Amino acid sequence: MTTLFDPLQVGRIALANRIVMAPLTRNRAPGAIPNALMATYYSQRASAGLIISEATAISPQAQGYADVPGLYSTEQLDGWKQVTRAVHEAGGKIVVQLWHVGRVSHLELQPHFGKPVAPSAIRAKTKTVLIHNGVPSFVDTSEPRALDVEEIPGIVEDYRHAAENAIACGFDGVEIHAANGYLIDQFLKTGSNHRTDDYGGSLKNRARLLLEVVRAVVDDIGGDRVGIRLSPVTPANDVFDADPQQTFDYVIHHLAEMKLAYIHVIEGATGGARELPDRPFDYEALRAIYRRGGGNGAWMVNNGYTAELAALALAQGADLVAFGRPFISNPDLALRLRTGAALNPGDRSTFYGGGAKGYTDYPTL
């Protein structure tokens, strides 16, 4: 019987166990530059089979929150090299999550105070984080502008270049963030995409950006170093799709042929309920379509998993289980799951922004 503590080969990446540290935005990269404190934070958690870094902007336009890192400047790449080196020295594996927030941003965070970009000029009813004088605050996102079709190839190129930078920085691979109401997800879902050109309207057109990005990244660094994160029914960041089962069945069918390292699926509402009565979804059917289509990547499940739920998921065919917030306050979460030890409570006041407090000072067993 498969357990969380069994090793697994995921594409090109050999994992010591099946416990994944999910991406967690912590807003501790002033100037969007990774730093030594972040290297300590990630290396403390290297006993996870795989670490997925916090979401990382692929360009200045892709930024949506204060003090989150990027992957496009020399200073940022140098900072990430500290992080990957520290994780590898601690025996861990780490991939970077590639991120374009689209409309989930604010004028203060955009180059030259420009409007955030989106598939359509529809403002997201959600918040972002600004930090003034070291104090984080949640503020409404700004009104976006619709991308011109001529701009979209440049965004695909930004993803490709960021993936190339990631490998140069020592990451073991990349995860394309296509979930949680950010740019790729905005294009995919009907509630945020009202376009009438080749990137809107039909399901094929709405999925075009996602598939173009994945193909570009796979062509550059190889599918065996690429994962993708999907969230079929989450309401995060004001997204909604009229027929999520049809949409994601289509997407997963096309992803199957790309021979990715893994598929990362958020079940239910991100960070919330696992079951949404108003948005039913068949995740087992989704995985079956992927396997029938020849998809051989690891299947990663995420959202509110405990040790008991994780064991059940593995028994039912999942390959990896991602844990999010428990990793914030339990750097040795893998050991605690193995031994059944109690978990440290998290200090929510330090989740976003700040320094070492609530970041690198949680006790281990």
Catalytic site residues?
182
Q: Which residues, including other chains, have CB under 8 Å from residue 223's CB and lie 6 or more apart?
A: 11, 258, 259, 260, 261
Name the maximum alpha-carbon separation found in the chain: 56
Dist CA 123 CA 118 (whole Å): 9
Q: Which residues, including other chains, have CB under 8 Å from residue 83's CB and lie 6 or more apart?
A: 34, 38, 39, 42, 43, 53, 94
Dist CA 200 CA 41 (whole Å): 41
**Region of residue 15 (left: phi > 0; alpha: psi -120 to 50; beta: else):** beta
Q: Helix, strand, coil proportions of the chain in percent (round to 5)?
A: 35, 20, 45
* Tokens 């780490």 sit on residue: 94
The neighbour count for residue 77, using CB atoms within 10 Å, is 18
Both tokens assigned to 163: 């993936």
Residue 121's nearest CA partner among 201, 194, 199 is 194
One-character DSSP codes across 238-280: G---S-HHHHHHHHHHHHHTT--SEEEEE-SSTTS-S--TTS-
Both tokens assigned to 10: 């995921």
Residue 146 · residue 118 · CB < 8 Å: yes
